[in-house]
Structure 1
Amino acid sequence: MYKKKLLFFGLISTLILLIALGSAAVSAHLTRENLQQSQIAQNLLTEHLQLSSTSYRLFKQLTDELLFGRGANQAKVRNKQQLINESLIRIKMLEVVQRKALGKEVTAGSIEDTEELRQLLTNIIDEFNAITADNLAQPLGQQSRVQFLLEDTIDNQFREAINAAVARQTRVVTTINTKIEVLNTAIVWVTIGLGVLTGPFIILGCFWLFNSLYQPLTVLKSGTDAIAAGNYNFRLPQTLDSEFSDLVRALNALVEKLAIHEAKAQANRKQLKYEVAQRTRELTEANKQLTNIDSRRRQFIADISHELRTPLTIIRGEAQVTLRQQALCEGDYRETLTAILEQAVSLSRLVDDMLLLIRAEMQQLHLEPEYTKLSQLIEHQVQSWQKVYAERQISFVHQIALEQSLFIDKQRIAQVIAILLENALKYSRSDSPVRVVLHAGTHGYTFSVEDEGDGISPADQAQIFERFVRLRGTGSGLGLGLPIAKAIIEAHQGSIQVTSERGHGARFSVFLPSQQSNRNENINRG
């Protein structure tokens, strides 16, 4: 039933709208045509007036030639003749357009009179030229030919012709303006008539449609308000019109589902409350860890600032001192450049360490793997550090009969061995030995660096591989060595661990998988 009501109302409204749009379109079209015709008529009237003014100025200049000689105003005469010809062309073109638009009855004589006017102008100009060429000896006032030209041809024939053209075009303008006024009056009355006819229908139709739709909408609103308030026992009546039956059934089904979901929600809220409390405890613990990390970050910024300031200060000081000297030998310059180079190398090493850690965190650590025997790499590092610490006892122990080559980055693994050896030598007594032991396992190789120092406390072991962490009681280093070692080993799919007891030294163990274990791993990242 509601569909029929809406369809009927829509059809009537569409019909009224189409009538209004059609009337507006016709009115706009007629108005545009009349305005175009009015513009053409105004232009023609303006051209006739301009032609009259230009023609009289030309006659005056031609008369001056009779009085003062043929060459007196030739340039001005030619200019006025050109203007007259152009004006006649425009008049003729506009009259053709006007006749097509208004018809021959309204524009009777326009094109024909213009041609006669053009011929008259030509005759007058030719007559002036002929009189000037004859150069008669008797006085000008006695020449009947000139008198006839000025009084009869110009004052009578030309004046009447141009006045007739202006009067005719004025009538055309008046006729067009009258048509526009009549059209505007008709449009106003048609608009008033349409408003009077359609206004009451639209008002009554809207009132009828509103009353027809309001009652079921009120019922639906009361039902949705009850559901929104949480009354899931409410049910909408099934007595509404057929158009609303599907909506009523859907809403009633929705209420039943909401009642079920509410019961489940109660149970879920209890569970959620418990999980939120548990998660809150976890987040509190994580926040504590983040606070600790932030504290270490702040400490690192302070340490790195100090570490950067020292070499930069030395570089600046060496340069300033050298520049202040008036005369220096080559040795002095070399000494200064050597000091600056040492500090620059130290800065470069610090920047390289930071870049390595950052790239490792971003999974962009670039490795250049090649087949290398781990025992040879360790032995080379042991020999190098033995030369640096000649007074220390550094031993390398391994009993591997058939050692396989590992597909590793030789320089990076050598860097790890150097870090572990340097830490072992730094944090142990000068008379205690340091041992490096290599073992072969089922899936790879493990080497360990052992010292007999003071050991590492359990609290320090938990965070020793984190960045910026330094062992208690030590004042040197930035705490980057072990994090770098861990990043390099993990990039090789390996692992690094520490075992230590307070007062019994420490052992760092590194596991590297064999080629068979990591053949399919992409360890060359970049």
Structure 2
Amino acid sequence: MYKRKIYLFGITSGLIMMIALCCTAVSAYLTQINLEQSNTGQTLLAEHQKLSSISYRMFKQLTDELIFGESANQAIIRNKQALIAQSLDKIRRLELQQRQALGSKMTAGSIEDTDELAGLIDAIISEFKAITATYNNTPLDQQNRLQTLLEVKIDNEFREAINAAVVRQGNVVSAINAKIETLNTAIVWFAVGVALFAMPCIILACYWLFNQLYQPLTIINNGTKAIAAGDYHQRLPETLDTEFSQLVSSLNLLASRLADHEMQAEHSRKQLEFEVEQRTREIKQVNEQLTRVDSRRRQFLADVSHELRTPLTIIRGEAQVTLRQSSASEDVYRETLDSILLQAVNLSELVDDLLLLARAELSQLKLDTSRQPLGDFLQNQVSQWQRLHEDRQFTLDIDGSTEALQLKFDQQRLKQVVAIMLDNACKYSAPQSPINVSLKQVDSSACIEIKDFGEGISPADINHIFERFVRFKHKSEGLGLGLAIAKAIIEAHGGEIQVNSTQGEGTLFQIYLPMDVE
């Protein structure tokens, strides 16, 4: 009997232990499933929030692109689009897993709403591209299309869609948590019932579970606190129980992505600081340039005032002196009028030069062009200057390929350019030194070269010789308009002027005129 009782006790205890073990196994299995569903729900919720954050940053960058230029944020926008595509793919995959686990009723609308959200994001991106392509300098706050995109598509439709997805997923998470809570309550009551028959077994089981669960929960708790405190390099160990493996992987992935975002934010901040510093330097350079221009403008006004005052003073003086004479001969009047005429001509030439530069600046310089032989034109100019300066040797070298070359040009204006160049060559070289003029073809342009063997131009001055009102200190006569006028005339012909100079060896001016073929 005692032995039977022992056997009965043993069998009963074995059955109870077997039932307890089976119930524990079932409870653990259900708990694992619920934890996985909870992790999936939490991951989906976090993924929706991340999608919202990335999308709004991308929309902001697309808006910045409209303001600062089409190529300002292209690499960042493509990166954001790739992140959005990855996030949407992950959301669809997790939602499909969640639907298979929880059923269509609990996850109603999740997959369908995600497809609509993806379509809405694509529509917004396409609308941004369309607005960028049709941008017509209309202020951004007055563009109805952009205003509709920002206020309706983004502020209303997209925000409502993402908020609905977050709320829906929050409801799913809440339902899962409620399911877990119900299961936990059933397990507790079942455990209480089992405790009435096998309290020692339950105590031992609880003790074992406590030892098994406390350590990973502590590790996870400490890790999540470190990540929440900003230590994004914190990683949870991958050796925990399988029930926590997905949670650990998600937390480690979250920490890695937060670290990447922090690194990108730091890089963006440094890039912004660099760009601000660069723009500041550019603004300072522009300001210094404007200061120099203003200084030259003031000097020009002073020079023009002086140049205008001198002939006007002479004109007034000649007239006053002649008028004060009680009786003057015809020769006196003629001499006075000749002097006044000379000064008036000088004033007219000065005004003509200023008017030419002003028209050239406004692209309103009109040329009276006709097709003429360029070689004959240069021969006539060199001959005239040789007669004016008999003590100096002028040479003309015409390349064989350009002897019969005819170009369309304004003879008077080009004559003015050649006169300015030859006058400067005479002015800045010794009286007996030669001046060489040559004509050759360079690619599709005719090149007129004027070479002197004078003192040359210093490197500090050569970058400013084509600017208006620039005069070298050792040559103070004139207003410094000659080379500026020559450059304006040649550019009006569609050509350009280049200069090369070596101090002590002379200066070479090259005039390029396009050869048009009709």
What's the TM-score, normalizing by structure 1? 0.48
Larger Rg belongs to: 1
Higher relative contact order (CA 8 A, sep 6+): 1
| TM-score (normalizing by structure 2) | 0.49
